[in-house]
Amino acid sequence: MRFVSLIAAATVAALLTGSLAAEDVVVADSVPQEPGEETAEETGTDGISFATRLESARKRLVQLSDEQRYDEAEPVALQILRLTQEGFGEDAQQIIEPLLDLAAVQINGAKLTTAEQNLSAAIKLIEQYDGPLSAELIGPLTTLGEIYNRSGLYDKAAQTFDRALRLNHVNMGFTNFEQFPIMDGLTDSYMSQQDIDEATFYQSSQLEIQQRRLGIDNHETAPGYYKLARWYSRINRYDEAILTYQKADRVVREALGNDSPERTEGLQGLALVYQKFGNRSASSSILRKALKLVEESPENDPLRRASLHVAIGDNLVREGRFSTALGQYAAAWEALPNNDTGTELREFYFNRTVRLEGNLFPQYANRARGRAPGELKTGSILVDYSISAKGRVKDPSVVESYPPGLMDRSFLSIYRRSLFRPHLVDGVAQTKDGLLARHEFYYVADQEPDDPDNDADNDDDDRPKPNRGKLSYPDSD
């Protein structure tokens, strides 16, 4: 038997992008402890059959979930669970799917505590009915691992993902691609524990698995190379990132030819590494090579062409060559088709605030670095600023900050030295006024405003982020 949650696809997306807050209410404990007298075949006092009520509630749950109305969806999911318990029994196999659906709604609604408990209840029932090696455990365990990662319980997350991975291997073999999300979860767990070697193992293993399945010289392994190269770039191992992109390009060239436009994704990634490495000349040269491949191909893919024009324009802005950069941006605007896809991409590229240059925003007032978590408090600052047609910041000011004045000087200094991608309207660069950005940071309680220790160049990006909610769990201290 395979259990499929009605909104399972939304669950992982919420875990990766949503804001996750603690909840003290245990929804799983609020369901009736005694099953009702009605069976699955009987009708209620209102004359509506059990099956009709259940189907109506399921349709309502899907509708609310599709509309992302999770606060309204949760009581409906709880109703489905109660109806199923009343119809089949509290520990019946049929309640597994409603438990998973309820947990999915709660995750999307940022209620991790209750979601964790309902997922755990579903896992126990799957073990009871299908056994401890069931493939049905893989999905719930993976989602549970994501919850633990988001809650800062990295050791528990690693243990949970490890069990999911072992079950994946037992049921699907060692070279299946379905294990990659589990490996990504393990990567996040170990990275958060500062075990970079272990995290890298789970990223490099994915490429090796693809090579075993598809063949070491198969160009379809290129996405695996790209993913591994992005990982190396993320952990500042730029030499290995460059080498990995170059290996991918060789595989694609040998399979599809030197003039293949399929080379462009890898070349664009390689250019980004050179840009991060500080070699803008090499970056721009590679991007222009990729653009030539696209323009000379029979397809002349407008979306790829626009992406490359934007990347070249960004490099030119960094070099201070604003007029030439604006020409590249205008070419990107014109390349995009006049349809919904083109409109969305124009918004994505040119109506979104994209910072191209500038120090990392400080996550710590200096005296807070290295302190124990219990000594830290979370501060915030709201900055108002404008971006000129050349991507320069104009008139940054602090709208509000807490503690008042503590980090104002640091953040304003970074904004003044930042470069942004210009905003375009009808293909023409325009000044963008009234932009607001909120930042959070750590400070210690006795730190004074305008403390001279504050440092605008604080770039400790590997430290924990300010707390935005966590699972309320006994072992989380």
| Concatenated DSSP letters of 284-308 | HHHHHHHHHHHHHSSS--HHHHHHH
Q: Please give the pLDDT value at position 37.
A: 38
Over residues 138-153, the pLDDT tens digits come to: 999 999 999 999 888 9
Q: What are phi and psi of 427, to 5 degrees?
A: 85, 5
Tell me how far apart the alpha carbons of residues 24 and 473 are, in angstroms, rounded to a whole number.
Answer: 10
Report the amino acid identity of residue 141: L
Task: Say how far apart CA 188 and CA 283 lie, in whole Å.
Answer: 29
106 vs 1, which has greater pLDDT?
Answer: 106
DSSP 3-state of 91: coil
Instruction: Report the range of poorest mean pLDDT among 5-19, 105-119, 216-230, 449-463.
Output: 5-19
Nearest Cα to Cα of residue 411 among 457, 466, 465? 457
What pLDDT score does 375 carry? 81
Contact of 186 with 156, CB cutoff 8 Å: no
User: Which pLDDT belongs to residue 236?
Assistant: 92
Whole-angstrom distance, CA of residue 79 vs CA of residue 367: 51
Q: Which of 70-79, 240-249, 362-371, 374-383 has the least mean pLDDT?
A: 362-371
Q: Single out the residue of 438, 435, 410, 437 nearest to residue 422, CA to CA.
A: 435
- Taking 90 as the threshold, does the pLDDT of residue 447 lie above it? no
User: Which of 301-310, 399-408, 460-469 is least confident?
Assistant: 460-469
Which tokens belong to 137?
């455990």
Asked whether residue 342 carries a pLDDT value surpassing 50, the answer given is yes
Q: What integer pLDDT is reported at residue 448 of this predicted model?
A: 54
> What is the pLDDT at residue 376?
85
Q: At which residue do the structure tokens 């090696």 appear? A: 133
- Residue 350's CB is within 10 A of a number of other CB atoms, namely 21
φ/ψ bin of 382: left (φ > 0), alpha (ψ from -120 to 50), beta (otherwise): beta
Which of these ranges, 104-108, 254-258, 435-439, 442-446, has the smallest mean pLDDT?
442-446
CA distance 335 to 299: 13
User: Which residue has better confidence, 233 or 453?
Assistant: 233
Global pTM?
0.76
Nearest to residue 431, comparing CAs of 399, 397, 382, 393? 393
Q: Are 19 and 468 in contact (CB under 8 A)?
A: yes
Is 308 exposed, middle or buried, given 0-12, 13-18 or 19+ CB atoms closer than 10 A?
buried
Cα–Cα distance list, 354 to 418, 435, 439 (Å):
11, 12, 16
Closest-CA residue to 183 (of 201, 196, 197): 201
How much is the pLDDT for 374?
Answer: 74
Determine what percent of the chain is predicted with pLDDT higher than 90.
Answer: 73
Q: Rounded to whole angstroms, how far apart are CA atoms 414 and 160?
A: 41
Report pLDDT for 33: 36
What confidence category does residue 49 fall into, taking pLDDT thresholds of 50, 70 and 90? confident
Q: Does domain 359-444 have CATH number 3.30.2420.10?
A: yes
> Taking residues 438-457, what's their average pLDDT?
65
pLDDT tens-digit readout, 83-115: 999 889 989 999 999 999 999 999 999 899 999
pLDDT class for 55, splitting at 50, 70, 90?
Answer: very high
Q: Which residues pair with 401 in a beta bridge?
A: 381
- Angle, alpha carbons 272-464-235 (nearest 5°): 30
Compute CA distances 295 → 27, 288, 299, 302, whole Å. Answer: 57, 10, 8, 9
- CATH fourth-level superfamily of 1-194: Tetratricopeptide repeat domain (1.25.40.10)
pLDDT in tens, 315-341: 999 998 999 999 999 999 999 999 999
Q: Where are the domains of the chain?
A: 1-194, 359-444
pLDDT of the residue at 92:
94
